Amino acid sequence: MLELASLSRAFGGLVVINRVDFKVDAGEIVGILGPNGAGKTTLFNLIGGVLPPSSGRILFEGKDITAMRPWHRCRLGIGRTYQIPKPFTHMSVFENVLAAAMHGGNMTLTSAKAEAERVLARVGLAHRARLPAGRLGLLDMKQLELAKAVALRPRLLLLDEIAGGLTEAECDVLLGTIRELHGSGITIVWIEHVIQALRRVVTRLAVLSGGSFIAAGRPDQVLADRRVKEAYIGT
């Protein structure tokens, strides 16, 4: 579904993503682990089209999207949440999701309204629908970020540290939602620091360190890998 071919990105002399080759198949939930500064968010910025790569190619469903603008990628079916939520602060929670359904989801106003209400009920934000998004707390903000991404009706969903800062109970709710989304046919790539959350849902785990993948495979195998322990846990 998604293929990164020899993808690199440098900021000045600093190589943040270094010749990454990576494939995601339809139906997977891939978890990406990595220490701070490993290049995880940069990787998402490249896939989402916020940053152009220095070299290499990105293919989505066989189509080269390397030069495509973010909104075109979004309409092709790549949805994304941000680690630091990007709500439309002066719009209502409802309108935030409505905007996503109408643009990325390419729906008419009527069906987008229905979709926004459905998605808000699903992530448990219906009671906040009329509130300006800027007034939400952290958990609600993250749920909104997810709601917006879901309303895009993506085929591939990129989640950037969506569980960070949540309590265990909140995290369970979130995992439920993510499983449900995956069950409805969405392929997911999830960057996360919370290893326990990741290993409970992912079908495959990959570890990014120093701009390259140092391990990938079944979660238990990857976590047992010596290099992963060195890079990530620091022992």
Partner 1 sequence: MASPANLILNGGRAALVAAVVVMAATPWLFSATHVVLLTEFMSMLVLAIMWNLLAGYADIVTVGQHAYVGVGAYAFFGFAALWGVNPYLSILLAGIVAFAIAVPTMLLVFRLRTAYLAIGTWVVAELLMLAAGKLSAWGGGSGTSVPISIILYFGRARDVRLATIYWLAFGLAASAMSVTYFLLRSRIGIGLTAMRDNEEGAAAIGVNITFARILCFLGTAPFLGMAGAIITLQKLRVAPPASFSITDWTVLIIFNVVIGGIGSFEGPIIGTIVYFVLRQYLADLGAWHLIILGTVSIAVILIEKRGLWGLVRRLLGDDLIPIAHKPSAMLTKQHTG
| Residues in contact with partner 1 by the rule CB under 8 A | 48-50, 69-72, 74-75, 80, 82, 86-92, 94-96, 98-100, 102-106, 109, 113, 116-117, 120-121, 126-127, 129-130, 148, 151-152
Q: Least separation, in Å, of the C-beta of 74 and partner 1?
A: 4
* Minimum CB distance to partner 1, residue 173 (Å): 15
Min dist CB 171 to partner 1, Å, is 22
Q: Give the closest residue to 80 by CA, choosing from 172, 2, 155.
A: 155
In this complex, which beta carbon is closest to partner 1, that of residue 50 or of residue 195?
A: 50
Which of 11/71 has CB closer to partner 1?
Answer: 71
| Nearer of residues 19 and 88 to partner 1, judged by Cβ | 88
- Nearest distance from C-beta of residue 70 to partner 1, angstroms: 4
Alpha-carbon gap, residue 151 to 231, rounded angstroms: 36
DSSP assignment string, 45-91: HHHHTSS--SEEEEEETTEE-TT--HHHHHHHTEEE--SS----TTS
Choice between 22 and 82, CB closer to partner 1: 82
- Identify residue 165 by its one-letter amino acid code: G
Give Dmax (Cα) for the chain.
55
Residue labelled with tokens 């939520």: 85
Tell me how far, at minimum, the Cβ of 172 lies from partner 1, in Å.
20
Indicate the residue among 103 and 200 with the shorter CB distance to partner 1: 103
